[in-house]
A and B are shown apart, each in its own frame.
Chain A
Amino acid sequence: QKEVEQNSGPLSVPEGAIASLNCTYSDRGSQSFFWYRQYSGKSPELIMFIYSNGDKEDGRFTAQLNKASQYVSLLIRDSQPSDSATYLCAVQGGKLIFGQGTELSVKP
């Protein structure tokens, strides 16, 4: 079992829809959870982080964490074509462990 697993994708949603990205992790001792966005050919950039169970909202983005289920998700509301990218889930206990990423395509 991989330490951090994400939907394989690609995920395609129409413009204006909600995109839902999911991630599970194996280390129950993990403390911090991150979502990075990576455009093709570019480096990852942090868009959200969450430590506590529940939801955290930042603009159109909502991160959700359920430590009991070892599950993290990212919701993108009112998806825009500019949101088209690969979204990486990362989990930190000691070092930062990334999932393989989910490619999101938002169709105009």
Chain B
Amino acid sequence: GAGVSQTPSNKVTEKGKYVELRCDPISGHTALYWYRQSLGQGPEFLIYFQGTGAADDSGLPNDRFFAVRPEGSVSTLKIQRTERGDSAVYLCASSFGGRGYNEQFFGPGTRLTVL
């Protein structure tokens, strides 16, 4: 079966530009998570969706970051006025349920480079 997919796999943009990163979770998974991973670090939690709603967005670093999941499936992470410090691999994960133990399956990530 298909796993979590993310597009694009690589994105290079210039400082100040707007970017959108897409995540397509495993079919039937109601929970979706976004993480950011910098080189040599573990994934850093950004936001968690349960269905269409953001159940926990406490990891979003500032108001330049926003994420949506309008139909409870595909999610888009949006970054406005990108900065060089936003360069990282953005990982999406999905799980069958929400809080409590539910194995999170990770996508391949989108490598964002801000020049």
Contact = CB atoms under 8 A, between A and B. Distances in A.
Interface of A: 4, 31-32, 42-46, 49, 51, 88, 90, 92, 94-101
Contact of A88 (B43, B45, B48, B99): B43
A43 B108 contact: yes
Contacts of B103: 46, 49
Interface string B42-62: 111100100000001011000
**Closest 7 A/B residue pairs (Cβ):** A98-B42, A43-B106, A95-B45, A98-B43, A88-B42, A100-B42, A101-B42
A49 B56 contact: no
Contact of A32 (B56, B58, B59, B100): B100
B25 interface: no
B46 to A, nearest CB: 10
Main secondary structure of the interface of B (DSSP, over half): loop
Interface size class of B (residues with CB under 8 A): 20 to 34
Interface of B: 33, 35, 40-45, 48, 56, 58-59, 91, 99-101, 103-104, 106-109
27 contacts: A4-B42, A31-B100, A32-B100, A32-B101, A43-B107, A43-B108, A43-B109, A44-B106, A45-B106, A46-B103, A46-B104, A49-B103, A94-B56, A95-B45, A95-B56, A95-B58, A95-B59, A96-B45, A96-B104, A97-B45, A98-B35, A98-B45, A99-B42, A100-B40, A101-B40, A101-B41, A101-B42
B84 to A, nearest CB: 21
A49 B42 CA distance: 17
A101 B37 CA distance: 11
